[in-house]
Amino acid sequence: MLLPRASLLVPSNLCSDTTCHGLRLKPHASDYAALIPWSGIKGLRDTIAAGIAERDGFPANSDDIFLTDGASPGVHMMMQLLLRSEKDGILCPIPQYPLYSASIALHGGTLVPYYLDEATGWGLEISEVKKQLEEAKSKGITVRALVVINPGNPTGQVLAEANQREIVEFCHKEGLVLLADEVYQENIYVDDKKFDSFKKISRSMGYGEEDIALVSFQSVSKGYYGECGKRGGYMEVTGFSRDVKEQIYKVASVNLCSNISGQILASLVMSPPKPGDESFESFTAERDGILSSLARRAKALEKAFNSLEGVTCNRAEGAMYLFPRLHLPAKAIKAAEALNVAPDAYYTHRLLDATGIVAVPGSGFGQVPGTWHVRYTILPQEDKIAAVVSKFTAFHEALIAEFRD
């Protein structure tokens, strides 16, 4: 074994270089996974794998972990691998966080939309996914993967376990890669829902490495930590052949490695203090304080939106968003059209002008044609929520009065 000797003479402080370690000499890039930090520092990946195993109750392998600068670069890497041409498609929820549409566009593939059902709390209906898959196939599109965002962004729903099992079954049967955006896994605000990873669900169904290809994305930007400026995250890649894994290593190697502070934070997120640890009590108090404050803010905003005339808002179950529907007066829609702006964009623009409150028009995420929404985060400081609600309400009432049919 040469490594200990080699490490004596390899420059240690400046060697983050794809070519420094003579990779070309070895038949399998993954032989180097333990040595070369392209997928992240081994000890940190070990910690993350142990954290996943503890969370799920099923084993996790540190060689499946790729540390990334936030979740986004992991998504890009997978799109780069999956999309060969515009004839390759990815099933994505609508509404969806636009990272997916942007990444699919950047990598030259086709987004195959499936609509979440607003009437059932942004439910993910397998019949809808199946319909869209068949329609894409009939157009000559090879659908390669299904994106699920759970808890949902921008829609804030949490999938029921039975629904997750249907999704796993569907991907297994259709041979689709399941791309599970699970960055909001800590952000659940209702007692009747909990987070289960798709890995846990699929393993509990008896599906192993051979049965389903599954990628789970995690980030340090969300949860109760919210360290988005650190750009930490990872993806857990399971159910791919060794050949494909080597291609993922290769793509990761082009960018050398993700930033070390982000790598460390990602490992901390997956290994919080445990009972008996010195900081366990203070950690638990702070975490629970943040999450229960977020839950109160979600509830207050949900209630506020539902009390507005012509606004309906599903329950804020998780993530960091509400996605209320605006039933706008016909005159308001006409006013927007006269300016060549989507009605929800017109609404948010007017909101910004009148109150300084920033909300994002639903048209930025996709929505059933003819429906209009806004996404609003639950993140204003708790002591500002009352002021937000009061300003938002006053604005909305004035706008409705202005355009009343």
Q: Which is nearer to a copy of itself, 99 or 213 (CB)?
A: 99
Which residue in the set 259, 312, 371, 393 belongs to the binding site for a copy of itself (CB under 8 A)?
259
Nearest of 44, 47, 117, 108 to residue 80 by alpha carbon? 108
* Residues between 116 and 145 with contacts to a copy of itself, criterion CB under 8 A: none
DSSP letter for 130, please.
H
Least distance from C-beta 326 to a copy of itself, angstroms? 15
Q: How far apart (Å, rounded) are the C-alpha atoms in residues 321 and 155? A: 6
**Crossing angle (nearest 10°) for helices 260-269 and 42-56:** 20
- Give the long-range contacts of residues 285-291, CB within 8 A, separation 24 or more: 286/224, 287/224, 290/224, 291/186, 291/187, 291/189, 291/224
Contact between 40 and a copy of itself by CB under 8 A: the answer reads no
Contact between 222 and a copy of itself by CB under 8 A: the answer reads yes
Least distance from C-beta 171 to a copy of itself, angstroms? 25
Q: Which is nearer to a copy of itself, 18 or 120 (CB)?
A: 18
Q: How far apart (Å, rounded) are the C-alpha atoms in residues 136 and 43? A: 43
Which residue in the set 137, 246, 261, 402 belongs to the binding site for a copy of itself (CB under 8 A)?
261
Q: Which is nearer to a copy of itself, 139 or 384 (CB)?
A: 384
What is the dihedral sign for C-alpha 254, 259, 265, 267?
Answer: positive
| CA dist 347 → 156, 298, 386, 393, 398 (Å) | 21, 21, 21, 13, 12
Contact assessment for residue 193 and residue 317, using Cβ atoms and an 8 Å cutoff: yes
DSSP letter for 84, please.
S
* Residues between 262 and 291 with contacts to a copy of itself, criterion CB under 8 A: 262
Q: How far apart (Å, rounded) are the C-alpha atoms in residues 354 and 399? A: 10
Q: Which is nearer to a copy of itself, 106 or 398 (CB)?
A: 106
Peptide bond into 37 cis (omega under 30): no
Contact between 231 and a copy of itself by CB under 8 A: the answer reads yes
Contact between 94 and a copy of itself by CB under 8 A: the answer reads no
Least distance from C-beta 205 to a copy of itself, angstroms? 33
DSSP element (H, E) containing 254: helix 242-254
- DSSP string of 282-318, one letter each residue: HHHHHHHHHHHHHHHHHHHHHHHHHTSTTEE-----B
Contact between 14 and a copy of itself by CB under 8 A: the answer reads yes
Which residue in the set 54, 134, 208, 255 belongs to the binding site for a copy of itself (CB under 8 A)?
255
Contact between 103 and a copy of itself by CB under 8 A: the answer reads yes
Q: Which is nearer to a copy of itself, 100 or 207 (CB)?
A: 100
Contact between 361 and a copy of itself by CB under 8 A: the answer reads yes
Of the candidate spans 86-94, 119-127, 160-168, 362-370, the one that interacts with a copy of itself by CB under 8 A turns out to be: 362-370
Q: How far apart (Å, rounded) are the C-alpha atoms in residues 230 and 219? A: 10
Contact assessment for residue 390 and residue 339, using Cβ atoms and an 8 Å cutoff: no
Contact between 345 and a copy of itself by CB under 8 A: the answer reads yes
Which class for 39: exposed (0-12), middle (13-18), buried (19 or more C-beta within 10 A)? buried
Which residue in the set 54, 126, 228, 312 belongs to the binding site for a copy of itself (CB under 8 A)?
228
Of the candidate spans 143-151, 170-178, 383-391, 394-402, the one that interacts with a copy of itself by CB under 8 A turns out to be: 383-391
Contact between 244 and a copy of itself by CB under 8 A: the answer reads no
Q: Which is nearer to a copy of itself, 320 or 332 (CB)?
A: 320
Of the candidate spans 156-164, 174-182, 195-203, 250-258, the one that interacts with a copy of itself by CB under 8 A turns out to be: 250-258
Contact assessment for residue 405 and residue 330, using Cβ atoms and an 8 Å cutoff: yes
Question: x/- site string to a copy of itself, residues 62 to 81, per CB under 8 A?
Answer: -------xx-xx--x---x-
User: Can you point out the beta strands (E) in 162-207?
Assistant: 177-181
Contact between 320 and a copy of itself by CB under 8 A: the answer reads yes
Contact between 113 and a copy of itself by CB under 8 A: the answer reads no
Q: How far apart (Å, rounded) are the C-alpha atoms in residues 355 and 129? A: 39
The site that binds a copy of itself (CB under 8 A) totals a number of residues, namely: 75
Contact between 34 and a copy of itself by CB under 8 A: the answer reads no
Q: Which is nearer to a copy of itself, 167 or 264 (CB)?
A: 264
* Residues between 175 and 214 with contacts to a copy of itself, criterion CB under 8 A: none
Reduced to 3 states (helix: H, G, I; strand: E, B; else coil), residue 209 is: coil
Which residue in the set 6, 34, 330, 386 belongs to the binding site for a copy of itself (CB under 8 A)?
6
Contact between 226 and a copy of itself by CB under 8 A: the answer reads yes
Which residue in the set 125, 246, 380, 403 belongs to the binding site for a copy of itself (CB under 8 A)?
380
User: Which two three-digit tokens encode residue 297?
Assistant: 């803010």
